[in-house]
Amino acid sequence: MQRRTILKGTAALGFASMVGGKAAFAQGLEKAKVGFVYVGPIGDGGWTFQHHEGALAVQQEFGDKVEIVWQENVPEGADAERVLTQMALSGCNIIFTTSFGFMDPTNAVAAKFPDIKFEHATGYKRDHANVSTYNARFYEGRAIQGHIAGKMTKSNKIGYIASFPIPEVIMGINSYYLHAKKVNPDVELSIVWAFTWFDPAKEADSAKALIDQGVDVIASHTDSTAPLAEAAKTNGAVIGFGQASDMADYKPSPRVSSIIDNWAPYYIKRVGALLDGTYAQADAWEGISGGEVEIGEITDAVPADVKAEAEAMRDAIAAGTYHPFTGPINKQDGTAWLAEGATAPDGDLLGMMFYVEGITGDIPS
């Protein structure tokens, strides 16, 4: 009985803070404790590394006004709820969960702690007033990679190491393919689903399988540098891209360019808003123009004219004059998706579960 009353109480409180909304938030904080939940190790050299760089930037910006805690290698799924609950109970004021698979656990735990702010990366569920989502328009970077891939491939076979079949990844595949196809109509795309975010040996095996099939440009959507290490074994015959982080150790080849996730500005903005009391629920999705997606240096392994074109595309995307998904684009089954000149609405992109015309194979379910 008593427990039920308490639950009712919490629910009522949650409701009150929803109604009270702005007023409750507007007080600001003297000192904030900020939690980060990572799917891999900080030393992965990619995805998680970049999030941690963002966390460190927050610490640097606010000094002793913030305290930072983090947990590495948190599995996606039920175990994440335990970690999140523990962080919430330990007095965090705001918690950033940095992988798609933390979406449901984040919302579940957020329901129990209405006074704590939760920020989920790359997801779309904001079931409660204290859950915000943030993402970056990685597909803009993929467009530039696709352009380079289409120009650079000699075998006309390009590859993509995919992690999980979620809109985020499929968006990247489609953007990469469309832009390769645009400059090289003969290009074929091989996709390998690794079903992991982080497993260097498997990522290397995936790259090797692609190389064995004659692929000579590999883009990866997993978190480690292993695919580049595998490409490096071919002595320049196969090139690839840095993913999530610059991966500059593999310059000038096989890494010819990269997508760098820069989370620092967003983290600083959100924690700052929490401290000064201007925090509000948000759904952030910045790209190259907002500085969240950076294109790493295009090395000399790429011919100067291709480099210039790629950089022009980058600048056009940044200026807002070019959208990587501009019609006419058909879906894989041939039905029309975008009409001539139309650009993809964000809603379509965030729920993208189809390949564009020309890609072979099915999306695993």
Partner 1 sequence: MDMGGINPAILIASLMVASVPIILAALGELVVEKAGVLNLGVEGMMIMGAICGFATAVATQNPYLGFLGGAAGAACLSLVFAVLTQVFLANQVATGLALTLFGLGLSSLIGQSYVGIKPPLTGTVPLGPLAEIPFLGPILFDHDWMVYVSIIACGAVWAVLKYTRMGLVLRAVGESHDAAHALGYKVVRIRVLAILFGGALAGLGGAYISLVRVPQWTDGITAGAGWIALAIVVFASWKPWRILLGAYLFGGITVLQLNLQAAGARIPVEYLSMSPYLITILVLVIMSSGKGKAALNAPAALGQNFHASR
Kindly state whether residue 99 participates in binding partner 1, applying the rule CB under 8 A: no
Tell me which of 65, 208, 269, 323 binds partner 1, using CB under 8 A. 208
- The contacts of residue 179 (CB under 8 Å, 6+ apart) are 142, 143, 144, 145, 146, 147, 149, 150, 313, 324
Which is nearest to 134 in space by CA: 319, 307, 297, 282?
282
Greatest Cα pair distance in the chain: 73
Instruction: Quote the least distance from Cβ 129 to partner 1, whole Å.
Output: 36
How far apart are alpha carbons 352 and 349 in whole angstroms?
Answer: 5
Q: How many CA atoms lie within 13 A of 342 on its CB side?
A: 12
Kindly state whether residue 296 participates in binding partner 1, applying the rule CB under 8 A: no
Instruction: Give me the 20-49 binding string for partner 1, x by CB under 8 A, dash otherwise.
Output: --------------------xxxxxx----
Instruction: Quote the least distance from Cβ 126 to partner 1, whole Å.
Output: 29
Q: CB under 8 A: which stretch of 24-32, 91-99, 135-143, 225-233 binds partner 1? A: 225-233
Residues in the interface with partner 1 (CB under 8 A) total 43
Instruction: Quote the least distance from Cβ 8 to partner 1, whole Å.
Output: 41
Q: CB under 8 A: which stretch of 89-97, 278-286, 332-340, 354-362 binds partner 1? A: 354-362
For 57-80, give one letter per residue: b (16+ CB within 10 A) or e: bbbeebeeebebebeeebebeeeb
Tell me which of 119, 140, 203, 357 binds partner 1, using CB under 8 A. 203
Decide whether 210 or 288 has the Cβ nearer to partner 1: 210
Tell me which of 33, 65, 112, 202 binds partner 1, using CB under 8 A. 202
Alpha helices for the chain (secondary structure H): 2-20, 22-25, 47-62, 78-89, 103-112, 138-152, 167-183, 200-212, 226-232, 264-276, 304-319, 346-350
Upstream peptide bond of 254 is cis (omega within 30 degrees of 0): yes
Tell me which of 60, 86, 90, 213 binds partner 1, using CB under 8 A. 213
How far apart are alpha carbons 162 and 149 in whole angstroms?
Answer: 16
Q: How many CA atoms lie within 13 A of 327 on its CB side?
A: 14
Q: CB under 8 A: which stretch of 53-61, 301-309, 313-321, 355-363 binds partner 1? A: 355-363
Q: CB under 8 A: which stretch of 96-104, 107-115, 191-199, 316-324 binds partner 1? A: 191-199
Instruction: Quote the least distance from Cβ 242 to partner 1, whole Å.
Output: 12
Site for partner 1 in 246-285 (CB under 8 A): 248-249
Kindly state whether residue 215 participates in binding partner 1, applying the rule CB under 8 A: yes
User: Locate tokens 């997606």: which residue?
Assistant: 293
Decide whether 86 or 213 has the Cβ nearer to partner 1: 213
Give the CA distances from residue 333 to residues 165, 336, 356, 357, in Å, rounded to whole numbers and listed in that order: 18, 9, 8, 7
Instruction: Quote the least distance from Cβ 283 to partner 1, whole Å.
Output: 31
Give the CA distances from residue 344 to residues 179, 180, 232, 234, 262, in Å, rounded to whole numbers and listed in that order: 15, 18, 36, 38, 24
User: Locate tokens 């606010």: which residue?
Assistant: 62
- Spatial contact of 186 and 205, defined as CB atoms under 8 Å apart: no
Kindly state whether residue 200 participates in binding partner 1, applying the rule CB under 8 A: yes
SS3 237: coil
Kindly state whether residue 77 participates in binding partner 1, applying the rule CB under 8 A: no
Site for partner 1 in 117-176 (CB under 8 A): 159
Q: Which residues bind partner 1 (CB under 8 A)?
A: 40-45, 73, 159, 190-196, 198-206, 208-210, 212-213, 215, 224-226, 229-230, 232-233, 248-249, 360-362, 364
